[in-house]
Chain A
Amino acid sequence: MADKRVTIQATRYDPDRDSAPRMQSYDIPFYDESMVVLDALNYIKNHVDGSLSFRWSCRMGICGSCGMMVNGTPKLTCNAFVRDYWPRAIHVGPLNNFPLIRDLVIDMDDFMHKLKSIKPWVIRKQELPLGAGEHRQTNQQIDEFRQFSECINCMLCYAACPVYGLNNEFLGPAAIALARRYNLDSRDQGLKERLPVIGDAEGVWECSFVGECSVVCPKGVDPAKAIQQTKLDTTMRFVLPYGNRD
């Protein structure tokens, strides 16, 4: 096992020196069958080239920080096993469709603005006093939105979405899935506040149902489902009598 080696081809970009990203190859030991691509990047950072920049945090598919393109597919690098690619070289690049700051680090400002725009929190018309107790929910009420609440904001869905790649005004899969998560929450009363954003031409209607967002989602959120269901719901609100009521 100690003799096995793997080639990592990482995208490098230094804004002060490079006019465009370039590729750099690293030949490193494949020291453990449980080694993931993030381990390989950390090995490079610690033993070979300390200048390689990338984001990571939890190492267990929770924080959503280490999303990158692995052999052209958006992946959490902490969840991409080297053994699944070996003996071929592994190309690691920054997430598609986002501006590149350095090496494997993308600018996520656009995503943050979009996330904020859909007001991802429980909105009440009137807050109840604390003494009134908690907002109780049945299991069925929780099941309505549970799937969409699993999103970890890793942005893999944005990297996989050609619609966002062609038009970055598109609100995007994760933001719409999160909006649906709150709109389906029995405690929430903020649908009308979110509708102008999600019902906009750059909201759900920009999506042409490629479906790749759901394919790459590491948490099974299925943003494509959230978007199509929102399209149907907003249409029904428009078409049905009393459909626009709260």
Chain B
Amino acid sequence: MATEIDMPSPHRGEGQGEGQGVKEYRWRMPANWWTRTRHYFLYVAREFTAVPMALWLIWLLYEIKLAGNGPAGYYPPRSAAFVAFSAVVLLFALYHSYTFLKLAGVIIRVKVLDRSIPPRVIVMAMFGAWAAGSVVVGFVLIWFAR
């Protein structure tokens, strides 16, 4: 007579567990893990660009608050340090936007007539929309600044 035994299966996450009752060595990520490969470094650089951008936006909000009191007592920052910081933030913003939009082709799936749009077309559309949006924003800013 056969006896059916419910065998523990690792595929069900059951069983004795390879590590149970055994002394294991547990690794820790070294603090410099992001210097191991170029890919990790570029990832951290991409994420880091958000920090100066956030600081610049906080500054912008502060300036908007000051400007809210009226033009009479408002003096926009014109120091060389602020201009240099803004230029760096602009470069960071461009790099961050570039990496973000470049990945859009991986993420977005669009189907037209049951056919998937190639990722390259989606990326080009994203960069096109970015360029068009920048032109519109630039036009509005220049228009109001006249």
Chain A residues within 8 Å of B, Cβ to Cβ: 13, 15-16, 18, 20-21, 72-73, 96-101, 107-109, 112-113, 115-117, 140, 162, 165-166, 208-212, 215, 222, 224-225, 228-229, 231-232
On whether the beta carbons of B106 and A224 are closer than 8 Å, the reply is: yes
Residues of B within 8 A of A112 (CB): 10-11, 13
- Name the one of B17, B40, B109 contacting A212, with C-beta atoms under 8 angstroms: B40
Residues of B within 8 A of A162 (CB): 29, 33-34, 40
Q: Mark B10-27, 1 if CB is under 8 A from A, else 0.
A: 111100011110111111
Known A-B contacts A109-B17, A228-B106; A21 and B11 likewise in contact (beta carbons under 8 Å): no
In this complex, what residue of B is CB-closest to A167?
A: B29
7 A-B contacts, Cβ less than 8 Å apart? A16-B23, A101-B24, A112-B11, A117-B13, A162-B40, A224-B106, A228-B106
B36 at interface (Cβ–Cβ under 8 A)? yes
In this complex, what residue of B is CB-closest to A168?
A: B26
Residues of A within 8 A of B6 (CB): none
Q: Please report which residues of chain B, range 1-51, place their CB below 8 angstroms from some CB of chain A when the two chains form the complex.
A: 10-13, 17-20, 22-27, 29, 33-34, 36-37, 39-40, 43, 47
Chain B residues within 8 Å of A, Cβ to Cβ: 10-13, 17-20, 22-27, 29, 33-34, 36-37, 39-40, 43, 47, 103, 106-109, 114
On whether the beta carbons of A116 and B106 are closer than 8 Å, the reply is: no
Interface centre among B26, B107, B109 (most CB of A within 10 A): B107
Cα-based distance from A18 to B34 in the complex (angstroms): 28
Residues of B within 8 A of A116 (CB): 11-13
Residues of B within 8 A of A232 (CB): 107-108
On whether the beta carbons of B27 and A108 are closer than 8 Å, the reply is: no
In this complex, what residue of B is CB-closest to A209?
A: B103
On whether the beta carbons of B19 and A109 are closer than 8 Å, the reply is: yes
Number of A-B residue pairs having CB atoms within 8 Å of each other in the complex: 88
Interface centre among A98, A99, A215 (most CB of B within 10 A): A99
Residues of A within 8 A of B11 (CB): 112, 115-116
Min distance, Cβ B8 to any Cβ of chain A, angstroms: 11
On whether the beta carbons of B114 and A15 are closer than 8 Å, the reply is: no
- Name the one of A21, A109, A165, A209 contacting B33, with C-beta atoms under 8 angstroms: A165
On whether the beta carbons of A140 and B25 are closer than 8 Å, the reply is: no
In this complex, what residue of B is CB-closest to A19?
A: B25
Cα-based distance from A101 to B23 in the complex (angstroms): 7
Cα-based distance from A232 to B108 in the complex (angstroms): 8
Known A-B contacts A162-B33, A228-B106; A140 and B114 likewise in contact (beta carbons under 8 Å): yes
What are the nearest 8 A-B pairs in CB distance?
A107-B19, A99-B24, A116-B13, A15-B23, A100-B25, A113-B13, A228-B107, A165-B29
On whether the beta carbons of B24 and A100 are closer than 8 Å, the reply is: yes
